[in-house]
Amino acid sequence: MIDSAVQGRATGDALPRRVFCRALAALVAGSVVAGALPARGAAAQTGNSEQPVRQEASKSMPDPKIPYFAYVGSRTTRERNARGEGLSVFRVDPATGIWTSVQVLRDLTNPSFLAFDRQRQFLYTVHGDLSEISAFRIDPQSGTLTFINQESTGGRNPVHLCVDPTNRFIIVANHISSSLAVLPIGTDGALGKICDLVTLTGKIGPHRVEQPFAKPHQVVFDGTDQFIAVPDKGLDRTFVFRIDTRTGKLASVDAATAEAREGAGPRHIAFHPSNAYAYIINELDSTVTACRFDAATGKLDPFQVLPALPDTHVGNSRGAEIAVSANGRNVYASNRGHDSIAVFSVDEATGRLASIGWQPGGGRTPRFFALSPAEDVLFVANEDSDEIVSFRIDQRTTSLTPAETVARTGSPVCIVFNPATQA
């Protein structure tokens, strides 16, 4: 059960059903790792930078009883001290909780963060520590993947990716080369050559090892798909961009940037389903920053900082992943070192967070976690104990109860879900 030394509870009624379902679909897509399929030069898709043509998936898992596929990216290289085999596919039975291995693509180097296209026909992965991104076709019945092609990201160590709302472009964060790359995607899911490459600059943070230059760590659209938030660990700020959906060119919204405390190291961000707030996990100082979000201008306005660790933890630890529940009442964050999931309640009137407690992550180094399609289970990818562990979510109390290890797989670092097509 959760350590409830610090208590907190959200207030207010549930969100409207259409808001809840839209947010659920976004979380299912990977939340912070949602994707989309752009059509290279397709005349039928005439989106522009002001009113993009949405290409949302029609199958968003409305029935929690329907089986689904889990795609797991893993570290594979000796340099990362990794034990992963590659990109794994599992079939998940929500009734029994059993994960059954379907496929493992072993000839891949560090397939880490993953994203679907918006029609969920294709899956994309970046290759950590390298300079490439790969595309795969998804078989809707079996869930298996077929390689399409691979392209350069124009930088080193691509760490995150997302697809624009018109399904025409994929945006990639190159962590070590301080850049954002945009690649076109064809109607067949194939990646094209880079069409834009933007280098981030600014005053670096004070950490002598971790902040030598700009280090973008994530790219994620807000709830309206108008703005792209980019937490930068090296510059202690979260940038905001827009994309011209006709050309794939990125434009910085300078006035919207959120500054973090020196040495905080912003890593990932998650938007509240109301789109009025956003929450940032800071890797280096293990804190969570709450921001107001202006959907008209893209501005992120920080107004609260909370520790992601209990005050009894005196050892080293780093923040990793963050997510908001689809009903908007809870924020979850993972800690590597303390090896826990922090749970916060959200005041729906103000967006302020209150700590509920910490649940041990069931293994070592919870680099990533994901909510199940029905949001009744939280799956934790423990990178250094080579396992994915499930936790049941009590919908009334929001407490987490350990269930079981659902999969043994080396060095898992990302999980995304896709519904199984019924025969």
Element (H, E) at 241: strand 237-243
Quick one: pLDDT band at residue 358, thresholds 50, 70, 90? Answer: very high
pLDDT of residue 57: 56
Given a cut of 70, is residue 146 above it in pLDDT? yes
Alpha carbon distance 312, 146 (integer Å)? 48
Which segment of 27-31, 193-197, 246-250 scores lowest on mean pLDDT?
A: 27-31
For tokens 């006035």, the residue is 255
pLDDT of residue 341: 98
pTM of the model: 0.88
Given a cut of 90, is residue 90 above it in pLDDT? yes
Quick one: pLDDT band at residue 114, thresholds 50, 70, 90? Answer: very high
pLDDT of residue 299: 98
Average pLDDT value for residue range 106-127: 97
- What whole-number percentage of the chain has pLDDT above 70? 84
Strand partners, 123: 116, 136
Alpha carbon distance 12, 35 (integer Å)? 32
Which segment of 59-68, 166-175, 185-194, 412-421 scores lowest on mean pLDDT?
A: 59-68
Alpha carbon distance 315, 308 (integer Å)? 13
Alpha carbon distance 264, 274 (integer Å)? 26
| Phi, psi at 17, each rounded to 5° | -60, -40
**Residue-wise pLDDT tens digits, 281-323:** 999 999 999 999 999 999 999 999 999 999 999 999 999 999 9
Given a cut of 50, is residue 390 above it in pLDDT? yes
Given a cut of 60, is residue 10 above it in pLDDT? no
pLDDT of residue 54: 60
Residue 345's alpha-carbon distances to 84, 188, 339, 352, in angstroms, are 35, 42, 20, 8
* pLDDT, averaged across the chain: 88
pLDDT of residue 108: 97
Cα-based torsion angle of the residue sequence 222, 267, 184, 110 in order, rounded to the nearest 10 degrees: -140
Which segment of 40-49, 149-158, 326-335, 407-416 scores lowest on mean pLDDT?
A: 40-49
pLDDT of residue 2: 45
DSSP-assigned states of every residue in 18-48: HHHHHHHHHHHTTGGG------TT-TT----
Given a cut of 70, is residue 29 above it in pLDDT? no
Element (H, E) at 77: none
Give the number of other Cβ atoms within 10 Å of residue 335's Cβ.
Answer: 25
Residue 89's alpha-carbon distances to 144, 286, 422, in angstroms, are 7, 31, 17
Given a cut of 90, is residue 27 above it in pLDDT? no
Average pLDDT value for residue range 246-259: 98
SS3 (DSSP) at 285: coil
Give the number of other Cβ atoms within 10 Å of residue 421's Cβ.
Answer: 16
**Residue-wise pLDDT tens digits, 72-86:** 999 999 999 999 999
Quick one: pLDDT band at residue 41, thresholds 50, 70, 90? Answer: very low
Average pLDDT value for residue range 127-151: 98
C-alpha R_g of the chain: 19
Alpha carbon distance 145, 105 (integer Å)? 8
Contact 371, 351 (CB under 8 A): no
pLDDT of residue 12: 33
pLDDT of residue 34: 35
Alpha carbon distance 399, 194 (integer Å)? 45
**Residue-wise pLDDT tens digits, 315-348:** 999 999 999 999 999 999 999 999 999 999 999 9
Alpha carbon distance 310, 153 (integer Å)? 39
- CA-CA-CA-CA torsion sign (251, 255, 260, 263): positive
Amino acid at 138: I
Residue 97 makes CB contacts below 8 A (sequence gap 6+) with 377, 390, 403, 404, 406
